[in-house]
Amino acid sequence: MTISYSPGPVDLPETVQQRCDLAEIDFEGTGMRASAIPHRHKKVEEVLAKTRALFREALDIPKTHTVLLLEGGATTHFTTLPQQVWTRDIGRKPHIGYVDGGYWSGKALAAGRKLSPICRESPLASSRAQKYTTIPSIRAAYDDAANSGIDFFFFNANETTNGTQVSDDEMAAFGGDWPYPIADMTSELLSRPINVSAFGAIIASAQKNFGKQGLTAIIIREDLIAPCPHYLPPTCDYALSHGKLGGPLNTFNVPTLFSIYAMLEWIRDMGGVVEMERRSRIRAPLLYDAIDRSDLFEGIADPAHRSLMNVTFRLKDMALYERFVQALETAHIASFNGHREHNDLYGQHFRISLYNGMPIENVQYLVDVMKEFERRS
């Protein structure tokens, strides 16, 4: 069987996948397929309610915040969420500031720039000059934002493409009532404990650490949910989704909902986000150590900013590239390429993604293949 180290979507743990397969035959004892059951069926509503409760439990979400599960992917929501929150009545036009820390925060910033002059044109901080091998200090950028009239502070906690991540220390040392931090946590939510109360909103699509592709979790302070601007579609209307306007709670997509439910139960049964982080702290160093000890490979991210989720590296001698790719393919290893849009920054490179569902043995297997390649080179 092929082992995929994809940045997402990814394989779920075997037991979770089996539950999803069973739900495709019989969704929660209804005798109906998960993909064919009406989304207003009471069992679906039950699973949705349990899923939201599991989220609360896993991340210790305070009463001030709510969890929405919506379609459109993280892209839809990091693009439209700032437009939603700015409609709040704060007595003047709000200002949004972005931290430019890599590929995905760059995308959010580009979307935000279209909102100029409400969005600050230049980022609050940027690691562009370092080719995004580092992440700017979130704490320093936040303090700067607070002193420069910013209302909404946007950053990405884990840059999937660059292989960098905001450290636990930085995550613990910032946040507050003003400006409101909004974070894209697509490639890290539920992989470590976080202090949800420090955030105005968190956006994360499911397909990496907590389910199959399709739904996006929006964890948002209830008092930030504002009337939706008329030009946005109802699928982006958080007030509607939250039932604030008397609308139903959205339950768009049953199959993806079930995988999130099954995955959250699995995370709970394994020991919660603390255990997910413990596993990450075994998986990622195993690979980083192999890279650091080898004469053939070199890591791309600055060691102080390395991600536990996405490991980027390359060969020191590019002449070996085709042979190494062949060695990986012969070993039935797939989805190891770096992001094609960053080959100009890093050269042809590799990216190995290590989300919650990745067994530690699979990392060891990859490390063995790399060592064997080096031995034979």
CB of 7 to ligand PMP, least distance (A): 6
CB of 103 to ligand PMP, least distance (A): 8
- Specify the residue, 164 or 373, whose C-beta has the smaller distance to ligand PMP: 164
138 binds ligand PMP (CB under 6 A): no
191 binds ligand PMP (CB under 6 A): no
Of 297, 281, 265, which Cα lies nearest the Cα of 369? 297
184 binds ligand PMP (CB under 6 A): yes
Q: What burial letters (b/e) apply to 276-287, b meaning 16+ CB within 10 Å?
A: bbebbeebbebb
205 binds ligand PMP (CB under 6 A): yes
**Choice from 3, 7, 190, 352 touching ligand PMP (CB under 6 A):** 7
- Specify the residue, 8 or 94, whose C-beta has the smaller distance to ligand PMP: 8
163 binds ligand PMP (CB under 6 A): no
**Choice from 75, 87, 235, 364 touching ligand PMP (CB under 6 A):** 75
- Specify the residue, 99 or 315, whose C-beta has the smaller distance to ligand PMP: 99
73 binds ligand PMP (CB under 6 A): yes
Burial class (CB in 10 A: 0-12, 13-18, 19+), 359: middle
CB of 5 to ligand PMP, least distance (A): 14
C-beta of residue 257 within 8 angstroms of C-beta of residue 44: yes
- Of 69-77, 128-136, 217-225, 294-302: span binding ligand PMP (CB under 6 A): 69-77
Q: Between 96 and 125, how does the x/- string for binding to ligand PMP read (CB under 6 A)?
A: --------x---------------------
CB of 104 to ligand PMP, least distance (A): 4
142 binds ligand PMP (CB under 6 A): no
- Specify the residue, 202 or 262, whose C-beta has the smaller distance to ligand PMP: 202
**Choice from 134, 160, 162, 209 touching ligand PMP (CB under 6 A):** 160
- Specify the residue, 68 or 290, whose C-beta has the smaller distance to ligand PMP: 68
Residues 206-235 that bind ligand PMP (CB under 6 A): 216
Residues 344-363 that bind ligand PMP (CB under 6 A): none
The residue at minimum Cβ distance from ligand PMP is 73
CB of 187 to ligand PMP, least distance (A): 4
CB of 194 to ligand PMP, least distance (A): 15
φ/ψ region of 176 (left if φ > 0, alpha if ψ in -120 to 50, else beta) reads left
**Choice from 126, 134, 137, 187 touching ligand PMP (CB under 6 A):** 187
Name, in order, each residue with C-beta under 8 angstroms of 365's C-beta and a sequence gap of 6 or more: 3, 331
CB of 141 to ligand PMP, least distance (A): 17
156 binds ligand PMP (CB under 6 A): yes
Q: Which residues bind ligand PMP (CB under 6 A)?
A: 7-8, 73-75, 104, 156, 160, 184, 186-187, 205, 216
